[in-house]
Structure 1
Amino acid sequence: MTETGRSVLDEAWGRIPQSRETQVDQGSFTQTRIERVIHLIAGCGSLVLGAQAFTAALGSSGEAAGWHVPLTAAIFVPLAAMIVACLVGRLTRVFAGIFAVVFVVTLCAWPVATAAGPTPAPTEDPWIFYLVNVATVASIVAFPLVLQIVWTVATPILYGVVRLLQVQADGAFVATIALDVSFALILGSVLLTLGWMYRSIASNVDQARAAAVASYASAAATAATENERVAVAALMHDSVLGALLAAERASTPRERTLAVSMAREALTRLANAEKDPLEGSDEPVPASRLADEIESAADEMGVQVRVSRQLEEGTPRVPGRVARALVLAALQAVANAVQHADAQGLAVQLTGSASPGGVAVRVRDSGAGFDVSAIAPDRLGIRGSIHARLAAVGGHSEIESHSGGTTVTLEWESGDRW
């Protein structure tokens, strides 16, 4: 994305009220808030059910001697930590996951803990039943979707199994236990579905927002580029007109030198202005990408050419603007070879060196050659599209031509400044 696109994105996000969540992850604006809402609801619901279970546990006598205090401590300490984490918004997944696992472990120990206890009444639910769906909620907060489904289904069923083991499969308890398990499964499924639905909606909203912002940024970048092109066109008109007037009126060596400088400046600005917003950013790219882009662009021109690559290990990455200048200049050299040498012996080579760091592109053909010094001043294919373009980004270009062919060398060193 261009610098203009980035500034537009920054401005768009700047118009959204900022908080800790948006500063951490602007790409998941809605998801972050939905997660926070889910955690708050989970904390409040767990607080209510936890208080109900704790009240029932205080008056419980169903456990054997020595089991009551360890069981209640094992359940309610991690439950309290999870509730606090949900309400505060810190380490929520960690403590919710701990409670979900501890509850299952405690549930597995329940038959052993109640084996020597008094026989419960068929209509009386143990205090641990009130926390079955709290464990489901904890899994929704802490685990990925697959484990959420496992916990939602397995926890109520496990409760039914351990409850039957506690009462030794007494037929008087079967109907009550089946009703409890069914209720826990239905409620857990509803909670799981709601959590999945709201998270999916939030994810889709964030994707739509990101796409809209990216589209707006692209449109804004295109508009800015068009405005810039208009400004550059006016600037070039003034620069070229000024250079022509200076050349016409030049009567001394000093005035001729000034006219040449003005013309060179106009060509440099023209080379710098030739930048498509869709070409990408100015971030450095691997040197091998130059070869890929030359091959791709040549194919689009109808020229089948394969670039030979000789890149040393440690070849520096090439700034985006320099890479584009090298590719465009190489394509101009290829076009010249096709036009004037009928692409005889056309070959393109990319070399890269680690010390001194730099890259070079060489375009060769075996045509009849030409006299470089005899090129007419009004022919900008070489002066503007090759020499001026490379000079504008701190590169160097050289053309050697004789009766055996022509070689165009385009070089850039990492120590150059552009």
Structure 2
Amino acid sequence: MEFRKLLCPGDLGGGENTLRLTRMFARFISVGYLAYLAILLPSINMLAPRMDSWWTPVTVALVFGSGLLPGALSFRSDPTPMRVTSGVAAALFLVAAASWPLAWNGPDIGDDDGVWLAFFPGVASIAAVIVWPTVYVFGHLVIGCVAVQVINFVARGETDVGLLAPEIMFAIMFCTLFVGGGVMAMRTGRLLDSTTETTYAAAAVAAAGHARTVERERFDALIHDSVLSTFLIASRGQPKEVVGAMATTALAELDNIRAEAVPDQQFSATEAINHLRAASVEADDTAMFRVLQERDHKTADIPADVIRTMGSALSEALRNSRLHAGPNTTRTVDANLTETGLGVVVADDGAGFDPASVAPHRLGIAVSIVGRLSNLPGGSAHVDTRPGSGTRVYLGWEAR
């Protein structure tokens, strides 16, 4: 465990985006090691006679063998071995560079030649990107570039130390382009994972809040639409049949709450009509409420949110009529139940109006009626009116 932490001091976790990038980098690293092995074989063979006999086969096996492992292990579901071997590959490159002076025997190589380790320090540093913190990665880059350039300097038998510094700086700057890109890519992956996690957490909080709001609105609607409306109708001397039907519906809904009924309950045709009637009476107890139902067809149960939305829009239409249609206006509400839907027409014979003349800040029709139904799946609404000809508001819903 301690050895693993030494080779892999970074976080072994990571989200989906970070893991996807890590696998991509692991395969890129392994392809890079394989390509450099093929390209550098002549250089490896040229240097081998100048080294102790053990050094070349052991170093080639360790450096390139460890470099091929991350890509091979990237196809496993568990990313830990892939990340650990990436750390091993990065560490073994520095070990190989550190062991070179112990095995060097000479003679010097030509000025145009170089020790094969000096050709790919950046690839080893990219392997470190997968598992090490950024400061360790660039530390590895600097140490690796300095080490291999010093090795080249010694192997060529050069004596002008002034030439060494430019070689080191060029190697560091060249490798930094690729290593820096790798660091930024991994950072982007971690940032995206963090943002995704934060978004999911915020969405969960919002969903929980919305659920609480929906549940609260459900209870508010029950008290308002069923209980209080039943009392209101009873106090205004409505027929016993109407009051009794509404009271029965209110008691049934209270029983559903006691039985922990779900918010997306279904309303029967009778319950739907009672709810709409209650909404009509509450908004205008003088409006005539009529029900049109096809006798040959049975209306399927209707979602509660549809009925509540229709009831709210119906009430708003009646309130608007009371405010703007003028005195001595007759208002009617016609509810039409079909096999697959529901239609409501709120009509008056009042003054009417020009829809184009409605001020933008007057949102009663646009938001409370048309907008409310438009946001309901399967819902629709439109207003038919003109000055002097009354107003008809059409509310509709069709099951999908």
TM-score by length of 1: 0.45
Q: Which has the larger radius of gyration?
A: 2
TM-score by length of 2: 0.47
